[in-house]
Amino acid sequence: MPEAGDSVSNALVQSFGIGVRQLREAQRWSQERLAENSNLNRSYIGEIERGSVVASLVTIEKLASALQLTPSALVTRGEAISQMNLVRGIKLMAIAC
């Protein structure tokens, strides 16, 4: 089921990517290093981090394993970032109004 159309607008996909990037950078790993450790393609890692592709459950599992956390914890991180951005957006709207 192609879901390319969702990838740009979906908040969780964007936040998931930000979470992956943050965790990778916390390890001081390059995208190449994360790609090796997760058995994924380097350019695919870049696309995930930018939120331009939708990761599958298997990809989430591979990334989580490389970053030494559970798949659900990796998704939780994305949810938390998504929530923070939502709160920030509401605050900015409140300032603007």
| Residue among 27, 42, 76, 92 that touches a second copy (CB under 8 A) | 76
The C-alpha atoms of residue 60 and residue 58 are separated, in whole angstroms, by: 5
The reply on whether position 37 binds a second copy by CB under 8 A is no
| Closest to a second copy by CB, 76 or 92 | 76
Buried b (16+ CB within 10 A) or exposed e, 51-62: bebbbeeebbeb
**Binding residues for a second copy restricted to 43-72, rule: CB under 8 A:** 44, 53-61, 70-72
The C-alpha atoms of residue 52 and residue 13 are separated, in whole angstroms, by: 8
Q: Binding residues for a second copy, per CB under 8 A?
A: 1, 3, 6-7, 10, 12-13, 16, 40-41, 44, 53-61, 70-73, 75-76, 78-79
